Every structure is written in structure tokens, then in C-alpha cells.
Structure 1
Amino acid sequence: MTETEIAISTRQVRVGLGHVRVRVTGQGEPLVLIMGIGGHLDMWTPLADQLPGRQLVMFDFPGTGGSTAPWFPPTMFHGALFVRLLLSRLGLQQVDIVGYSWGGLLAQAFAAQHPGKVRKLILACTGPGPICVPADPRVAARLLTPRRYYSSAYLAKIAAQTYGGEFRRQPGLVRAEAARRVDHPPGWIGYMWQLIAAGTFSVIPFAHRIKHPTLVLGGDDDPIVRTANQYFLHRILSQSEVQVIEKAGHLMLVDSPSTLAPIMETFLSAEEA
């Protein structure tokens, strides 16, 4: 990728039968950021601002943000193929990946299916799939629709109990997050396809294929993905380490970026044994 291409802020890239909204910023080792369910690339802004020494690759998954509706079946492995096609379109041969929540499941599927394309993995606020320690049913029910992306008032009402962490203590964070979300809400079809993909994928049968250095991050105040799931991932991924951040919630990558970015940078920069 040329310096001119790197300088482009946000653009549409054709992948397969659809168009994908992509943002590539900075220079250095490429780091692909895969957002949670329904999310779009602008939601990475707080963390991206804390990672100035990296070439960051952010995109709206098909059916979310500014990308067209999915043109492939709703499975994680079809999603992983889409990511490979996108990276090829961008001229990227091997990358580090941060997968957050739903994006962590996709990152695991991608690493298992295309191991040569991945150098290191960071799996944040995610688990192994449906076979896990579940969230409280009331919290899980709120994730079945994208309503929190369409209504700022609804997000403000549920944020503290749904996301935990700093959202319990700083109302201003909720307002900022709501402003980012409602700007590019996901389509209902795209959101449903993401739900299906998450509900039908488990990394357990494929964990032996993920031999990349992996940092598993969790928060001890995450109502959606409980910390037992991060410890389980650590046990089944042979080259992993785990860090649980005190008082951090499910959105810790965007509500506490100044805390998390140095941890991520230390892991990514460490020489492999």
C-alpha cells in the first residue's frame, strides 16, 4: 500500500458483490480492528487516537455502518472469508488483529481458517461462542435487537447495567457513545445475520489451529461476557495470555482507551520467543 493510499481517510472498497466502508490510518505494522455486533468503524475513534504508531485498518462489516448488506451466508467462516478478501483488496498479506466482542469471534474464525494471514491476536471482551458462561438473561435480551443504535435515550437507560465499567460512573461517556452510534446504525437484516453467525460458531473444535501469540483481555465488571469465558479461552488457546482489568466493563476499549492502549502496544511490540 502506498503512502498516498494510507493518507486516504475513509472510502468505499468493493469486496465480492458488495461495497465496504473502510478507513486506513497511520503507518507501521498493520493492525486490523474488528468491531462488536452492529458496530461501525467510527466507534473505534477513542482507541485509535491512542495508537498513533500503527497502521490501523477499520471497516464496517457488511450490513452495518456504511457497508452494503451481506452477500454471503450468515456464518463466521463466511465472514472470515470476507475479511481475507478485504485484506487482499487492501494489499495486506499478514496483520495483527484486535477482535472486540462479536468481532473477537470473527477474529478467532479468521485465525483458524487463514492462520498464515495473522501474526498476533488480541481478543477483547469475547468468549468461545455459545458454549460459555452466559450473561444475565435480561442483559442478553437487550442484545437481540439493534435498538440501542437507534435511540440515544434507550442507550442511556440501559448503558450502566448492560456495559458496566466506566458507564456506571461517567454519564458523559454514554452521551458520547450514543452520538457515535446513532450516526451509522446497522441494518436490521445485517444485525440479524450477525446474531446467527455468533449463535452458530464455537471456537472449541478449531482452537488447536490457533497457534498465534494471543492476548485475551477482559473486564471484571463486564455484564455481557463474564471473565470465566476469558479464562476458558486462555486454557484452550495454546499460545495465549490473559489479563483481566479491574473495574473495567464490556466497552473498556472505548471507555478506557488510555489504560488499554499501552497494554495492547506492549503485547504487539514484544519479540516472539
Structure 2
Amino acid sequence: MANPMDGAVVTMEEVGGRTLRTAAWRLDMPSDHLPILFFNGIGANIEAVAPLAAAMPERGFIMFDMPGTGESPDPVVPYNPFIMCWTAAQLLSKYGLDEVDVMGVSWGGAMAQHFALQHPKRTRRLTLIATTPGMVMVPGNPKALTKMANPRRYVDADFMAKHFMTLYGGMTRTKGQDHKSSHIGRLTPPSPRGYVYQLMCMMGWTSLPALPFMKKETLIMMGEDDQIVPVINGRILKAMIPNAQLRIFEDGGHLFLLTHADESVAAIREFLDAPETGTETERMMAAIA
């Protein structure tokens, strides 16, 4: 199996007073498609979602390890969504990217929402994967949440293997061995400070009051059997975002991007390639907003 990082240009970028390990795929390639800015899940390094970038060779991708995650150095001081979205925008400018399609999974889905609200002119379309509106959410299975919050899942391979099905649900329950080994093999443990600061970043945060003002076309993707982020959270996002569509993956758990890879990529492509909706006036107003 090919290494999904083979096509990535990995660099350490100084952005907004922080050093971020950044991976860019195909940004210098001529394309009819905008690049994708991807926000990862909590504690997850670039490699965890690299297969998605590799599976969409017609598009550029850019993502980075959060401070204290992967190979990005530890954060010196805590940060919040506003600071990290500003930092991400500075990173885009460094690469000469004025507008992108924004995507995020789980914790990163919340960050993607914040980025689209904070930087609407730089966001064309928004894809939210297995995520919530933040503090105002319907919690998942307590057994899965306690395992999710335990940093041992990153540093103790036996712990992760033992609780993999409880954590992620869906097809990992019945066909999890291959997915388990490939996913665990791509993870690099975050530092204790990096993990705590990521947890602190979203404490008290919610996008819910702002979502009715979100003018971006949005695809919400949820797993039917997600033990960490129940599908009802996707329905809440769909109800609150005016131009949203919801796609639920049957027998999908929190890792449906991995277990339903072909189906997920097809849904993302269909959404990103669809013609612009609304009148010309509405599109112009959205661009100005």
C-alpha cells in the first residue's frame, strides 16, 4: 500500500509567533478546484487524515499539526479558536492562497466552523465531518467518552487496541482489524501540554448562535453509529445552517472516513463540484459578507 504522505511537502512554518509542522499536497499543480484547508481531530497528527488528501489527487490540500501535536512544538501559552483560525489564515497567506474549501473532522470540525465564520471571504464551501456545534451538543456514549478523554489511547497501543471498537463504533465493531492497525500505525502521541491546551481551546465555545448567519454552502457528514459524536448533532447543525445538507453513513462510526473511504470521497467530490446555488446577487452578497 502506498504511503499517503509520499506526495506531501512537509515543512516547519513560522506563523503568528508559532512553529507549525505543515503538509501541503499539490498546491503548485494547475487545477480547476480550490485547495482544501483541513482541520484535524483532537490530538491527531497530519498522518491520521493523509489518506483523504491522497484519495483526491485533483485537489490541493493543506493541513498542519496543532501546537504540541504531531511534530509541532509545544504551545507556550494557551490559545483559543479565534487565535488558531487567525493563524491558519496567516498560513494560507504564506502559501499565496486567497480562498479555499474548508473541512474539519470532530474537534477540527468545530474549528472549521469558526474559521468559516471568522474568515468568510477566504471560505468557499464548508465540509463538517463527525462534529458538533461545540458546548451545546448531545454527548456520546459515556464508555466511549471516558476512553476518548484518556491520553493513554495515544501512548499505549494495547489500550487503544482493546478499546478501539468501543471508541469508534460502526463497522469497526465487525471489520475493525485492518482499520485498527492502519489507524493506530499513523498516530503520533501529542504532548501532555499540547493535548490539554487543545481540550482547553474549545471549553465554553459554541457556534450555535452564529450558525443561522452562516451563508456558506455546507456538507455535514455523520456516522449512523458514532459513539463519540451522535448523529443528532449533525441534525442540529443541519437545522441551524441555512445552506446545509446532511449525509448519514449507514453503519458508520466516528472513523467513517476510514471505513467508508470511497463513499466519503464520492460525497465530498459531489458536494465540492456541484454548481453554485442561489442568484447572482446572492452570490455577490455572500462574497462581500
- Could you tell me the TM-score, scaled by structure 1's length? 0.92
Match of 1:271 in 2: 275
Taking CA–CA contacts closer than 8 Å with sequence separation of 6 or more, which of the two structures ends up with the larger relative contact order? Answer: 1
Match of 2:213 in 1: 209
Q: Provide, for residues 197-231 of structure 1, a one-character-per-residue CA deviation record: whole Å limited to 9, x for no partner.
A: 22221001221332100000001010000011000
3-state DSSP of counterpart to 2:202: helix
Equivalent AA in structure 1 for residue 114 of structure 2? A
Q: CA deviation at 1:8?
A: 6.3
Q: 1:143 to 1:246 in 2, by over 3 A?
A: same
Cα pair 1:30 1:57 within 8 Å, conserved: yes
**Worse-matched range after superposition: 150-159 or 95-104:** 150-159
Cα pair 1:18 1:69 within 8 Å, conserved: no
Match of 1:10 in 2: 10
Q: Provide, for residues 74-119 of structure 1, a one-character-per-residue CA deviation record: whole Å limited to 9, x for no partner.
A: 3222221121122122221110011100000000111111111100
3-state DSSP of counterpart to 2:128: strand
**Worse-matched range after superposition: 212-221 or 8-17:** 8-17
Q: CA RMSD in A?
A: 1.5
The separation in 1 between residues aligned to 2:50 and 2:8, in whole angstroms, is: 16
Q: Provide, for residues 116-146 of structure 1, a one-character-per-residue CA deviation record: whole Å limited to 9, x for no partner.
A: 1100000000011121111122221222232
1:69 corresponds to which of 50, 74, 92: 74
Match of 1:3 in 2: none
Do structure 1's residue 143 and structure 2's residue 157 form an aligned pair? no
Which 5+ residue runs of structure 1 have no aligned equivalent?
A: 1-6
Moved over 4 A (4+): none
The separation in 2 between residues aligned to 1:72 and 1:207, in whole angstroms, is: 29
Equivalent AA in structure 1 for residue 24 of structure 2? V
1:30 corresponds to which of 18, 30, 35: 35
Cα pair 1:152 1:179 within 8 Å, conserved: no
3-state DSSP of counterpart to 2:102: strand
Q: CA deviation at 1:39?
A: 0.5
The separation in 2 between residues aligned to 1:104 and 1:121, in whole angstroms, is: 9
Cα pair 1:210 1:237 within 8 Å, conserved: yes
Which 5+ residue runs of structure 2 have no aligned equivalent?
A: 1-6, 278-289
1:176 corresponds to which of 137, 160, 182: 182
Equivalent AA in structure 2 for residue 151 of structure 1? D
Larger Rg: 2
The separation in 2 between residues aligned to 1:8 and 1:154, in whole angstroms, is: 30
- Could you tell me the TM-score, scaled by structure 2's length? 0.88
**Worse-matched range after superposition: 120-129 or 16-25:** 16-25
Task: Give the alignment of 1:147-166 within 5 angstroms.
Answer: 147-166=152-171
Aligned length, in residue pairs = 265
Equivalent AA in structure 1 for residue 191 of structure 2? G
3-state DSSP of counterpart to 2:225: coil
Cα pair 1:10 1:22 within 8 Å, conserved: yes
3-state DSSP of counterpart to 1:99: strand
Q: CA deviation at 1:72?
A: 5.3
Equivalent AA in structure 2 for residue 177 of structure 1? H
